[in-house]
Amino acid sequence: MAVEFRYPLTRVCLRSGALTLPRAMVGLFPAQGEIVAVDTKRDQEFKLNALGPRSVGGLSELFRNHRLDVNDELSIRKLEDGRFSITPLPKPRRSDYSSSDALAQLFDELAESGIAATEAEIRSLYPDLPAGVDLAGALVADGRFLQREGRWQSMAAAEMADNGRRRAEEAVAAREREAIENMALAQAGAEARAEREAVLQARLEAHAAGAAQSGLWNTPGRSDDSAGHESAGHQGAHQGPINVKSTAGGSVIERRTPVSPPAWHRDSGVAHGGFDDDLDDDRSRESLELVSRLRALLTPCGFRIEPTGRYQVALHAEMGRRGYRVLVQVLSSNLRLDWADLMARRRSMNVRFLAVVGESRDLIRLVGPAAAARATLWSWTGLERLAALNRTVPISPVDLVTHFESDGLFEDGLTRFETAVGERVAERGMFSEVLLRLSQLKAPAVFLLEELASELNMSREQVLRILERLGAAPFDLVERVEQGEFVLRQAVPDALTALAGYATSLRGRVPARQRERLTAVGEPDLLTSPGTSAADA
């Protein structure tokens, strides 16, 4: 392993552009001829001159480029290819805030960071700021800052924070209004259902009383003749939906057989019966609840939900040329699937995939038919797991297209999905481990890839991939010096603070997308049967 030497600069070195080597460095450089060196910070080669066994010249340009001063250091190391790497290591310098330009630079940094800090906190961030500087007056005179609750902050950052808080409050208020509207709709639906059930019960009781009085039900102790006479006598009095046959003719068995109640019918758009209507209302209500549940789980992933029928919706993954559509059949407690109808609807709608959503216990019996129909099964448990993981790592329709092709989110498909997301979470954890280890170094510092991978117990390829990300924009945290060697440009906390400021500034310039929302346009048609008015529903 190459040995690193640190050479402190003196005034003589800076004036002459040459180094007088100490005894420990004698023999490091050739005694004569040209020497090829590499400026690691600029990744530039330059020539050195061997002036003797203990003297090397040709460093004046390096000193000027990096504005080196007395007591700054050079890190010198011999490379495997015969060149020499030279890394300037300037000492931290105290800032001079006596001039207006220095204060303006300080205020530029504060405005760009967007932090809100008291005067004492600003002085702790800039310890070189003289105590005699009127910081509050200078901030007011700058014109870009305002004081709120004892803290100074740039006006742009304060406005951005106010807008974010206002949007959050509006979102909370909108959710509360939506919840109140949903509660009102649910209460109105429950009251309407109770009223229909009461009307139905009253009609059933009236029907039972009319049947008993008409002799349709034989009471013990009554003779056949009396039953027949009462039936004949009351036939004219009980006109309406009950059609009782005359008992004047026919056998005794026919006279004693009760007439089955007739089916309720509709007249002038008013429902005279309630069996089918209540069943339709219950199914429509259940369909709306299941579709709303599906929308809440899949909309955050980037899908658009379009109801196409009872218990059926179309998922739209609108991604341009990579977009696709899915016909989804939601299982209910008392619904038998018609696979032929599903496949016909799939062809007529020209959708790419077919999916069935339901409880796990209901999907077990559909594994074989779904495979034959080229449909995938999606359990509610899997969809809830999808929504939970989407709050940790972003999941888009691209991540789910393979699951719509096969396996779905049920049994093997759910296991495969959790494994893929787990790998992404693990990669984020490795990224955090590398950053935490680099935060222990005093920047600027040179470190080796092999040593870092060994300390973190990670493979060399994994650490190299993470370092390449950290070396690119917007991090710009590390830089490759040579093969297997990197330099930490700045302290990790400072880099993360700068990255947060950049992200906040960029977020403020991103235009907000606004969508027009239509509320309950077609839903009343699902709650009422054909021929029933909205008022009767």
Percentage above 70 pLDDT, the chain: 79
Q: What residue ranges do the domains of the chain occupy?
A: 4-89, 95-196, 280-412
As a whole number of angstroms, the distance between CA 510 and CA 513 comes to 9
Question: Checking DSSP bridges between strand 34-39 and strand 84-89, what pairing results, if any?
Answer: parallel
Return the closest-CA partner of residue 281 out of 179, 181, 196: 196
Name the band, by pLDDT with cuts 50, 70 and 90, for residue 516. low
CA distance 434 to 430: 6
486 Ramachandran zone, left/alpha/beta (phi>0; psi -120 to 50): beta
Helix, strand, coil % in the chain, rounded to nearest 5: 50, 20, 35
User: Domain 95-196 has what CATH class?
Assistant: mainly alpha
Select from 150, 146, 72, 62 the least CA-distant residue to 111: 146
Sequence letter at residue 139: L
Checking if the pLDDT of 235 tops 50, the result is no
At a CB cut-off of 8 Å and minimum separation 6, what does 46 contact?
37, 38, 39, 58, 61, 62
CA–CA distance from 369 to each of 338, 340, 350 (Å)? 11, 11, 21
The pLDDT of residue 210 is 65
The pLDDT tens digits of the residues spanning 191-227 come to 777 788 788 878 777 776 665 555 544 444 444 444 4
Query: Hey, what are 424's tokens?
Result: 């992404």
Give the N- to C-terminal CA distance of the chain in Å, as an integer: 85
Q: Using the structure block, give the residue that is written with the tokens 């599906």.
A: 294
Rounded-to-integer distance, Cα 315 and Cα 318, Å = 9
Q: How many helices (H) and strands (E) does the chain have?
A: 19, 19
Please name every residue paired with 117 in a beta bridge, in sequence order, or none if there are none. Answer: 152
Contacts for 78 with CB less than 8 Å, ≥ 6 apart: 2, 3, 28, 84
Q: Are 14 and 70 in contact (CB under 8 A)?
A: yes
How do residues 165-193 score in pLDDT, each as one tens digit? 888 888 888 877 777 777 777 777 777 77
For residue 231, the tally of other CB atoms under 10 A from its CB is 20
* 28-69 pLDDT, tens digit each: 888 888 889 999 888 889 999 888 888 899 999 899 888 888
C-alpha span between 169 and 165 (Å, rounded): 6
**DSSP secondary structure, 91-159, as one string:** PP-----SSHHHHHHHHHHHHHH---B-HHHHHHH-TTS-TTS-HHHHHHHHSSEEEETTEEEEHHHHH
- Cβ–Cβ under 8 Å, residues 246 and 259: no
User: DSSP letter at 2?
Assistant: P
Provide mean pLDDT across the span 248-273. 45
pLDDT above 80 for 435: yes
Give per-residue burial for 496-513: e unless 16+ CB within 10 Å, then b.
eebeebeebeeeeeeeee
β pairing state of 151-154 and 44-52: unpaired
User: What is the DSSP track for 382-441?
Assistant: HHHHHHHHHTTS---HHHHHHHHHTTTBSTHHHHHHHHHHHHHHHHHHHHHHHHHHHTTS
What fold characterizes domain 4-89? At1g16640 B3 domain (2.40.330)
**Residue 230 CB neighbours (<10 A):** 15
Closest CA to 74 of 18, 151, 130: 18
Output Rg (C-alpha) for the chain, integer angstroms: 41
- Tell me which amino acid residue 229 is: H
**Helices 412-438 and 492-509: angle between axes, nearest 10 degrees:** 120
Question: 0.75 cut: is pTM over it?
Answer: no
Express each pLDDT in 485-497 by its tens digit. 999 999 999 999 9
Structural contact between residues 240 and 272, judged by C-beta atoms closer than 8 angstroms: no
Angle between helix 380-390 and 275-298 (nearest 10): 30
Q: What is the pLDDT of residue 484?
A: 85
Dist CA 311 CA 507 (whole Å): 40
Tokens 């002085």 sit on residue: 123
Quick: pLDDT tens for 364-388.
989 998 998 899 999 999 999 999 9
Contact (CB, 8 A) for 469 and 493:
no
Q: Is residue 85 within 8 Å of residue 77, measured between CB atoms?
A: yes
Q: Tens digits of per-residue pLDDT, 453-501? A: 988 999 889 999 999 999 999 999 999 988 889 999 999 999 999 999 9
**H-helix or E-strand containing 505?**
helix 492-509
pLDDT at 186: 73
pLDDT for 233: 42
pLDDT at 534 over 80: no
Do you find a cis peptide bond into 474, omega within 30 degrees of 0? yes
Cβ neighbours of residue 495 closer than 8 Å, sequence gap 6 or more: 475, 476, 477, 489
